[in-house]
Amino acid sequence: MAAPRLPQVFPWAGAVVTVVGFLGVLAAQAGMGASWRGGVDATERTELVATGAFAVVRNPIFAAMLTTLAGLTLLVPTAVTAAAWLCLLVAVELQVRLVEEPYLLSTHRQAYASYAAHVGRFMPGLGRLRRISLGEQIS
Which 3 state secondary structure label does DSSP give 32? helix
Spatial neighbors of 42 by CB under 8 A, at least 6 apart, are: 103
What pTM value is reported for the model? 0.82
DSSP strands (E only) in 60-109: none
Please indicate whether residue 32 or residue 118 has the higher confidence score (pLDDT): 118
Which 3 state secondary structure label does DSSP give 67? helix
Spatial neighbors of 37 by CB under 8 A, at least 6 apart, are: 44, 46
Q: Largest Cα–Cα distance of the chain, in whole Å?
A: 58
The pLDDT confidence band at residue 130, using thresholds 50, 70 and 90, is confident
pLDDT at 45 over 90: no
